Each structure stands twice: as structure tokens, then as C-alpha cells.
Chain A
């Protein structure tokens, strides 16, 4: 009986300790990043794997390094890449990427013999339809080259 009473008093004390902890957190600053007003620091973003993008070519940034060898297409577990060889030479004519099927596994990046593919760091990519996530990477490369020049 006495032991039970002491136990209960100890238990009440543990409840007070708990209240003091949550009380302290009540008054301490918030921890969340409130997205549209604040964004997380860019160094945290540098390692983020976003959707794929093509690496700009060396002399001409609008040209891809891709040689249309189809290694990435064969390696991809989700079948999300479509690469078609152009009429002239090795450079691709169509480079389509279905982000809805992609699992960001890096099979294509690591199988590419010329290092033509890399992950972008676009964390805020949103789309309102599936079709908007069927990305034309060659077109992206060209438009981004136009913007920088």
C-alpha cells in the first residue's frame, strides 16, 4: 500500500517533468521551414537528385554529348527513356524522358559511356498533368543554352 502511494507520487512527478519539457518547447522557436516564404539553403540542395537532364556539350552548349548508344535505355528498370538516333551522325534527334516512370536509380547515369546524363536539383518541380512530366530533355538543353548565351 505504502509502496503504491510512493509509486503514484513518483508518477505524478514524472508527469510534471513531461509538462515542463513540452512547456519549454512551447516557448522555443519553431523548427519548420515555411515553404513559400522560406526555402532551404542551397547547399542542402546540391546533392538532391531531381529529374534527369542532359549535360551541355563542350564547344556548343546546345549540343548534347549523347552518342545514341542506347545503353541507358537498356539499363533503365522503368523504361522511361526514349532516345532516337538522328539522320546524320551519332547525335540524338529525340531524347524523351518520362519522369512519371522514373525511380531516380541512376542506372542510366552510371551506364552512360560519355557522361551525357546527370541529375538536376529541381526540387520544386510541379505539374498538373501526367503529360507535363513527359520531358523533352534535348529541347530543355537547347532552351537553357539560349538563355545563358
Chain B
């Protein structure tokens, strides 16, 4: 089990857009990282080899797009990590984690139901919780006046590093955790 600093370093090696530490007692997370879609599978593979398991896939809609959050927990030593991917609002596609974590299939189908995010590589991307003939927009999509920007949600504890484009998104004054 590598230390937190080692893990941050290894994530940076693979490539992250932003990485931040969190106060576990206040946010329930140890570490969160925003990754680009093409790095997601590498990060997941890394976590799988370290004995992490996928807890859930929690998507939310923000002004910048759909933020898909994967929560991971280590099997042996508790260490909750959130990996986030931002998918654009108009054409949200994210690679599926199914090849590594087969349990992701259902979580991704749930996000597909509720937000319309398409997961490329999911073997069975059909409605899971909603009926197959459900018509209408995905039920958890927000109307445009209710959508908040990501910076207003306080998702990014103490930012360790971030690429310039993400520094803009996280906003100049980061919340001190």
C-alpha cells in the first residue's frame, strides 16, 4: 500500500488534469483526481492492481458538463479515492470501466438512465432502472437556470496541481479544506 504522496506521484505520471487532497473527516474522501477520458482506463487499471474496488459511479450535471465521479475504496486498507471525468453536455461519452471492473456495468447503465451519459465499451447499455420505453429527457438533467458551475459546488478540496484549463474551472480561490 503506497503512501498518499506516492500515489499522487503515480497518478501524475499517468496523467491527470487536476489532483487534490481532501480532509477525510469533512468530505469522506482522501484524494480526488480529475482525469482526461483517455487516461481513465489506465488509472482504473492502476487502482485495480493496487487492490481497489469500485464503490459507485455518481454523476452530476454542472455548467461545464457532466462530472462522472468514480468512488474507489481499497479492499484491505480503507482509502477512499474519487476519480472524476468531465463529459461535455452536448455529446457526453465516457469510456466504460467494464473491462477492468465488471461491476461498473450496472453503475454506468444507471448513469446512462439518469443523465444520458454514454459509456463506450459497456456491453449492454440498455435502460436498467427506467422502463425500456421511457420517453422524455433523462430525469436527473437540470433545467439550464438550475445548473451550477463546478466551482460553486466545492468539490475540489486542497488542489495539489491542476492544468491551466482546470485551474479556471476550479476557480482562482480554492476552498481551504
Q: Is there a direct interface between A and B, measured as CB atoms under 8 Å apart in the complex?
A: no
Interface of A with B (CB < 8 Å)? none
